[in-house]
Chains A and B, each alone.
Chain A
């Protein structure tokens, strides 16, 4: 454990929680965000601190304090929380306590009181929640990164989950990203700087898309279609009570991963849900050419009857036709170990003219990462996801690539990489062992 991690840990452990619950929700929220911000700046720092140590250190401090400031603004911390969630998916890098804290970000109710909810409702739907619904719980039951979720009942008796967005969040994300871009300017001496800008812009477009609940709703409907006749349940949408900032959907009862695991479920049960989670991931990958950039435990509800609730369709990235073809060809090349085709794939991914321009150090690392990713597919029969070495290897590779700081790469890769790590980490936590290869290849055959 390095000193930064240690100091954060000690801060977390010694931090007194104020007794007033009002103050508590308020400060807890921001301290979480601060820690997330710290980690974020840490990751970025690692990306850039190499040659010009002094300069870098200066920008690091600047960056860190700026991010901390962003984190203090109560519920306007959406963008930072996203980063925290990303980090939470890497159990080998983060000490266990911190993962728990990050995870609680998804469950902790943020400070949006009912008067504020009412105003958002008046602006969005023209009426108070209590006029629209037969009943509406004033206290949120779950926090979302950009809002909070309330339970309610429709007049026809149906139970719904109503996601309400914080006011002004889109503007805040835009402003955050602007600040970030300005701060990154201090690192412009770094080679391939222009590609970094592309990554930031790309992240911005994905996050801003997430701000529009209508687009999330549309995508949720699409997913509902592709998962009919499966054990995966996507909530039904209630469009009459849905706007850009309010999303009303069927409530799915069940447990999240953490509480499921707390019941000490047997291997068969863990495998069952691991397969369903994998299916949701792989099936949408192939049938919708989509990657969920935000694959974390909060997005799955493990239901008593054995079905898997799949929620949250805000944060995704869809391949266009051309990029998808490259992706599929690349995957085939990997599985068939076709060196020439692989070279072509890497060249395109790194936005180079010819494979001779590729950075050999990067190619070496990338190939090792690829091998790590496809290991469960290449293994015929059950793959043991519970092996610590496997996850650790993935995390080490990630750290290595962070250290290498290679940014000249198609931004799409960020999302698929993030999703893959998210998936593997979920599998690891479920300590599952099943035939992932058949699942993957069957889907691949069917859709390509």
Chain B
């Protein structure tokens, strides 16, 4: 039983690896599940035992990358960031980890992380969203905002975040520098809104 489990895990991993390479090489749209199964030497039917669809497969890859982006954020975080900075650091780290998926993240998220319904049909996507928002919740709590997962504040954040992703996936500026500016504006807007300008955070840049 143990061996089967291990073998299963191994196959799953090789499918993911093959998919990542093919997506990067020939694009997400052009890659078929047949290509992927052929590339790792399994029957097409076998692939479906692991992943329901090409979209689920891609969503799993994206979710993994988001996870490593979160770890990168934890590593880079100094604990001295003000709210905007910390939010910025999180999103920027995540996008860095997602870089290889940039050009096709749109269709993946559209199907994997349903934008229009609160509950996603794809469990991988739903989990990725939950994990992302959990981190946001933690960051907010670090700065004195205790906020429910279902609150409108989180919905506001999520709309801004999706906007950033959408922009990023189409950003033609060198090194997606426009997205950096957009993350910053969005997070300033967000922080300003939830604090209604009433909190007095420490100055992050001040000449006096």
Cross-chain contact A167 with B85 (CB below 8 angstroms): no
Interchain CA distance A118-B185 in the complex, whole Å: 17
Q: How many residues of A sit at the interface, in one of the four size bands? A: 35 or more
Interface residue A110 (Cβ < 8 Å from any Cβ of B): yes
CB of A26 within 8 Å of the partner chain: yes
Central interface residue in B76, B188, B207, by most chain A CB within 10 Å: B207
Cα A118 to Cα B181 with chains together (Å): 13
Q: Residues 3-38 of chain A: 1 if any B CB is under 8 Å from the residue's CB, otherwise 0?
A: 000000000000000111111011000000000000
Q: Which of A20, A110, A111 has the most CB of B within 10 A?
A: A20
Q: Which residue of B lies closest to A142 (CB)?
A: B207
By the criterion CB–CB under 8 Å, are B199 and A20 in contact?
Answer: yes
Q: Which of A68-99 contact B (CB under 8 A)?
A: 73-74, 76
A-contacting residues, B48-87, CB 8 Å: 76, 81-82, 84-86
Convert B183-208 into 0s and 1s, putting 1 for each residue whose CB lies closer than 8 angstroms to a CB of A.
01100100010000111111111110
B181 contact from A25, A109, A123, A167, Cβ within 8 A: A167
- Chain A residues, Cβ within 8 Å of B205: 25, 109-113, 139-140, 148
Q: When the two chains form the complex, which single residue of A19, A122, A139, A166 contacts B200, counting CB atoms closer than 8 Å?
A: A19
Count of interface residues, chain B, beta-carbon cutoff 8 Å? 31
In-complex Cβ contact of A114 among B85, B185, B203 (8 A): B85
How close is A293's CB to chain B, nearest CB, in angstroms?
25
CB 8 Å contact bits of A237-277 with B (1 = contact, 0 = none): 00000000000000000000000000000000000000000
**Is B127 located at the chain interface by the 8 A CB criterion?**
no
Write the chain A residue with the least CB distance to B83: A22
Residues of A within 8 A of B202 (CB): 21
Residues from 375 to 401 in A contacting B, C-beta threshold 8 Å: none
Shortest distance from the beta carbon of A306 to any chain B beta carbon, whole Å: 27
On chain A, the residues within 8 Å of B207 by CB distance are: 107-109, 141
- Are A20 and B197 also in contact (CB < 8 A) when A113-B85, A115-B88 are? yes
- The reply to whether B203 and A171 form a contact with Cβ atoms under 8 Å apart is no
Is the Cβ of B197 less than 8 Å from the Cβ of A122? no
**Are B203 and A168 interface neighbours, CB within 8 A?**
no
B102 in contact (CB, < 8 A): no
With an 8 A cutoff between CB atoms, is B92 at the interface?
yes
Chain A residues near B201 (CB-CB < 8 A): 20-22
Question: CB of A120 within 8 A of chain B?
Answer: yes
B146 interface residue, CB < 8 Å from A? no
Whether, in the assembled complex, A56 has its beta carbon less than 8 Å from a beta carbon of chain B, the answer is: no
A122: B residues at CB distance < 8 A = 96
Docked-complex contact B92 and A22, CB < 8 angstroms: no
Cβ-based interface call for A332 (8 A): no
B199 touches A114 (CB 8 A): no
Cβ of B18 under 8 Å from chain A? no
A374 an interface residue at 8 Å Cβ cutoff? no
> Is the Cβ of B92 less than 8 Å from the Cβ of A171?
no
| CA gap between A20 and B204 in the complex, in Å | 11
Of the candidates B86, B175, B198, B199, which one forms a contact with A123 in the assembled complex, judged by CB atoms under 8 Å apart? B175
Say yes or no for B178: interface residue by CB 8 A criterion.
yes
Shortest Cβ distance from residue B96 to the other chain A in the assembled complex, whole angstroms: 7
B-binding residues in A (CB < 8 A):
18-23, 25-26, 73-74, 76, 107-116, 118-120, 122-123, 128, 139-141, 148, 166-168, 171
19 A/B residue pairs, CB under 8 Å, sorted by A: A22-B84, A23-B192, A25-B205, A107-B207, A111-B188, A112-B205, A113-B84, A113-B85, A114-B81, A115-B88, A118-B76, A118-B89, A119-B88, A122-B96, A128-B76, A139-B205, A139-B206, A167-B178, A171-B173
